[in-house]
Structure 1
Amino acid sequence: MRLLEILKPDERPRERMAKFGTASLTDAELVALLIGSGLKGRNAIGIANDLLDSCGGLRGLQRKSINELKQLKGLGPARACLLAACFEIGERASLSELVVGSTIACADHVRSYCRKLLSHKPIEYCIALLLNAQNQVLDCKQISRGTVSQTAIYPREVVKLALEHNASSLILAHNHPSGLAEPSPGDVAMTRTISEALAVVDIALLDHIIVAGPRTISLHELGYMPG
């Protein structure tokens, strides 16, 4: 059952999107456009609603791997790959907000960037935002990836990365998939160790940001950064 066969012209998502823009569509309608057609007794919008309900919304759907998407009713290999590709495009587009050469203007800018990059990750990732003396972005690199509860970060690798990019300073960020918006004792200890290692080569660790779902916390603002 194709989506277009059961909707009036003024109800069709594609026509409404062309006339009013993508923001006029619901989450389910956007997903339905990618699905394209439904199953017997269930149109594409109905399937999209089922997918969003079962996954806890768009964020939950985005967190699914391609193999997990394939197992969801109404999808299959082709549709799963299409959904995954669309989510990846969206993620890459969001990262362009802080492109190489741009200047860090405020802490909120960095927090927003880190939140978009890490908030939906199902396992822990740690990244380093490398800056020059003018606080311009040299690069953003993944330092490590781990499990749902921890990731290993080695100070020597952080120092090596900073030196390779001739960075004057850097900002660390990692996520808590559990949603716990507070640093663990290990987070604090690791931050101090890396800060001290960078100081030996005259590179400053400006902050360590923890992303916990929609929330971000700054170890600098909490007073955990070495003086």
Structure 2
Amino acid sequence: MKGIPTESMPREKLLNQGPQSLTDAELLAIFLRTGTQGMNVLELADYLLKDCGSLRQLFAASCDEFCQHRGLGEATYVQLQAVIEMTQRYLSETLKRGDALTSPEQTKLYLSSRLRDRQREAFYVLFLDNQHRVIKDEILFEGTIDSASVYPREVVKRSLEHNAAALILAHNHPSGVAEPSQSDRRITRRLCDALALVDISILDHFVIGDGEVVSFAERGWL
């Protein structure tokens, strides 16, 4: 990368200033490591981001879609999927150490990584013990592109099976709009009432959109 000062190279910049100082193109360049004919790695990274639209769209591409882009192949796709999976597992382990409540932003980040890009609406539950540590997390219901049927009896049943003392709920809006609907608020109230009968509380309900996460607790709805 002729003409670029050494301290401005992505690798050196990360070491000196931290990963948060890098642009999307610089982060992608570190991952790619090498350019292609006629393009250095930074030029290739910038080209790919413009061609795909964003890092998120690049990450969400299927193997066939990914390999259609210049400079990318199956081996790079496999490496990227491994990185994405490691990130999700890291976030999951962070929650399972008991950070679900002490780090609400980490919880939002984890839930967003799990639900944001799903094409159908999914209803997700974090089952917590009496110290608010995560016992189990799972998708209980999955619906069409715009709705999911949520059955309070099933939520109560699974909560008792896991011996949960509290829950954190989440679901995605495939439309990308995170604003909760009246239906979302009604089912949350029904779940609160049903779970209260067996002394299980709902600590929060997150609605995952495209780049935004809405918290029922922060809105004062719980």
Could you tell me the TM-score, scaled by structure 2's length? 0.78
What's the CA shift string for 1:150-182, capped at 9, x where partnerless? 334333332222112101121211122322232
Q: Percent identity?
A: 39
Deviations 1:40-97 (CA, angstroms, capped at 9, x unpaired)? 3233322211221233322232232334322323212111121222222223323333
Deviations 1:202-226 (A, max 9, x none): 322233221223322233454655x
Q: How does 1:16-95 map to 2 (within 5 A)?
A: 16-18=13-15, 21-95=18-92
Please tell me whether residue 141 in structure 1 is matched to residue 141 in structure 2: no
* Alignment partner of 2:201 out of 201, 204, 208: 204
What amino acid maps onto 2:159 in structure 1? A
Distance 1:146 1:7, change over 3 A: farther
SS of alignment partner, residue 94 of structure 1: helix
The yes-or-no answer on 1:185 pairing with 2:182 is: yes
2:122 to 100, 122, 125: 125
Alignment correspondent of 2:168 = 171
Deviation at 1:143, TM superposition (A): 2.2
How far apart in 1 are the matches of 2:132 and 2:126? 10
Q: What is the root-mean-square deviation of aligned Cα atoms in Å?
A: 3.2
Structure-2 change in CA distance of 1:70 and 1:144 (3 Å): farther
d(CA) in 2 for partners of 1:84, 1:106: 26
Q: Distance in 1 between matches of 2:83 and 2:3?
A: 24
- Relative distance call for 1:12 and 1:109 in structure 2 (3 A) is closer
Aligned to 1:159: 156
Correspondence 1:194 to 2:191: yes
Q: Write the distance in 1 (CA, Å) between the matches of 2:168 and 2:98.
A: 16
Aligned length: 221
Q: Secondary structure at the match of 1:99?
A: helix
TM-score norm. by structure 1 comes to: 0.77
Gaps of 5+ in 1: none
